[in-house]
Amino acid sequence: MSKIKIAWFLYCIFCITPIICSSQDYPLKPVKIVIPYVAGGGIDIVGRTISQKISTALNQNYFIEHISGAGGLIGSNYVAKSSPDGYTLLMTSSAHTTLPSFSKEKSYDPIKDFIPLSLIAWSAGHVLVINPGLPFNSVQELILYAKANPGKLRYGSGGKGSFTQFAAENFNLMANIKVEHIPYKGGGQAIIDCIAGHIEICFIPATAALSHVKSKQLKPLGITATTRWSEMPTTPTIDEAGVNGFNYVTWYGLFLPAKTPNHIVQKLLLEIQKIVNDSEIKKIFKEQGLIPAGTNVDEFQSIIAKEFELNKKLANLINALP
């Protein structure tokens, strides 16, 4: 072998070895998964389930830390500004694509400052429910009633900028109707008032709606997902019910700071996809009304980009409301 070939061979080995070693070495220390909300709820279950499984798979401690405030902006900003070394991750929800539209503080870019590692799970959707005393029994009848009786229907949400308001305003937009918004300090009070007849309509997480539907306190008309929920098989999707193309659901996903090395991204993604396809995880998720996803980076990026554009449009409508 000529000296030139030997030199080239050694050069290639020199260049490739650090990449191989760095991929094999990661993670060398505990990894923080930031949830930008207070403890509790579906995102906590997803986050802790994933952290336990990936800790076992990679023989390192992946731990949850709650950094809450400003509706999730503080924790998200913390991760955006963290070192892109794979030791700080963000576990957040679809609010990632709605909150920036309401924030005066533009401390980070939700698209450019993150690598969307994987969408872990979709929710089963929200259920469009009504007070059972109302004179209609389907989405189409609701739409006809709203058009014939402007100003007579009101929906409750968890507050301005909440997911439930975005879902309802998307419904208003796509159905070409106007149902008045009544904001509450939390979704629970909106449900209570819908049952009592103080408001007519709510969009409620499927798991929260189930008991009220079974007790006939509320009447379900449609679900915001693209497929029916197994626990409410007779409730159609809103798309099926006549609002073609309607799809608005919560998701939970993992993000990394932008510029995180690709070998770390790929190592984490490989393990995440194994975990999401695990039968035990599928069972846990199903019990919580969640549908496993496990997308890759490009798929997740495409979902986020589409949602972000829709939510900017909805935010403009919401900001224009009194």
Number of domains observed in the structure of the chain = 2
Q: Are residues 118 and 141 in the same domain?
A: no
The answer to whether position 20 is within a domain reads: no
pLDDT for the residue 316: 87
Considering only residues 288 and 153, tell me which one the structure prediction assigns the higher pLDDT: 153
Give me the domain span that covers residue 59. Answer: 29-123+250-319
Element (H, E) at 76: helix 73-80
Phi, psi of 298 (to 5 degrees): -65, -40
DSSP, collapsed to helix, strand or coil, labels residue 85 as coil
> Under 8 Å CB-to-CB from 278, ≥6 apart: which residues?
53
Residue 258 and residue 271 in one domain? yes
pLDDT category of residue 220 using cuts at 50, 70 and 90: very high
pLDDT at 107: 79
CATH code of the domain containing 195: 3.40.190.10
Q: Give the pLDDT band of residue 20 (cuts 50, 70, 90).
A: very low
In this structure, is residue 235 part of a structural domain? no
21 has pLDDT over 50: no
Q: pTM for the complete prediction?
A: 0.84
Separation of CA 32 from chain center: 20
Domain-embedded: residue 236: no
Judge if 112 and 148 occupy the same domain: no
Whether residue 234 lies inside any domain: the answer is no
Q: Under a CB-based contact definition with an 8 Å cutoff, are residues 166 and 126 in contact?
A: no
Q: The CATH number of the domain where 254 resides is what?
A: 3.40.190.150
Question: Cis link prior to 116 (omega < 30° from 0)?
Answer: no
Residue 227 structure tokens: 């497929």
- Residue 259 domain flag: yes
Same domain, 41 and 115: yes
For residues 105 and 142, membership in a common domain is answered with no
pLDDT band with cut points at 50, 70 and 90 for residue 281: very high
- 14 lies in some domain: no
Residues 154 and 88 in one domain: no
Tracing tokens 């008032």 back to the chain, one arrives at 193
- According to the model, what pLDDT value does residue 162 have? 86
What average pLDDT does the chain have?
90
Contact between 275 and 57 (Cβ < 8 Å): yes
pLDDT on residue 106? 64
Is 116 part of any domain? yes
How many angstroms separate the CA atoms of 47 and 65, rounded?
10
Reported as a pLDDT band with limits 50, 70 and 90, residue 104 is low
